[in-house]
Amino acid sequence: MPGPAVVAQTSEPWIRWNWVSSHTDVVFHALRDHVELTLIAVGIGMLISVPLALLARRWRWFEAPVLSVTGILYTIPSIALLALLVPWTGLTRTTAEIALVSYTLLILIRNIVAGLAGVPADVREAAEGMGYTPTRQFARVELPLALPVIIAGIRIAVVTTIGLVTVTAVIGQGGLGQLILDGLIRDFRTEVVVGSVLCVALAVVADLALVGVQRVAMPWARRRSAP
């Protein structure tokens, strides 16, 4: 496999537009796979993180071990984690998703716990004084106030996952990362540039979309910041 130095020394132009126009189906397929891998990973990560964060919020002793375990998972190098999983789940999408989900857990759980912990005690007491049940208090008071921190965690998890998806190209599941890897193997800059640019653009668009979701979900914050 040629290294970066070989790519840098080649006379190949940075991008061949005729290749892009004749391979739009390949590019869109890679982009679609990238989006799917990201959405599945963050979605499953949320399904796991929300109950764990609520348990950690309810029983404080549970917070340290759950953050420790997810922290250990987060520190495992992605290539090493994929290598550990391949003997069990093969070169499959399942392997890629297990790794990607593992990296979302610490970010999501930590931000959900921090968001709920940041709700002022006097607000909780006021809700209790108004006769709110614990479930209604969580849904109507605590969750709305915790949303800024929670959505910030989702934004970080989404952007991080978009970057990590490219690494799963080493097991044939990399979405846009597959274009980058193929370009490096073939010493073909166009694939490297197209894959890299689209990956960055996808991260920016996803982050801006989540900012928009936050503004829609928190209209009171928008009114408060208005002059």
CATH superfamily of 29-225: MetI-like (1.10.3720.10)
CA–CA separation, 45 and 148 (whole Å): 18
Q: What percent of the chain has pLDDT over 70?
A: 90
Most confident residue range from 3-17, 29-43, 115-129, 168-182: 29-43
CA–CA separation, 55 and 183 (whole Å): 46
**Scanning the structure block, which residue is given the tokens 């919020």?**
57
CA–CA separation, 224 and 219 (whole Å): 9
CA–CA separation, 185 and 1 (whole Å): 5
Which pLDDT tens digit goes with each residue over 43-74? 999 999 999 999 988 888 888 999 999 999 99
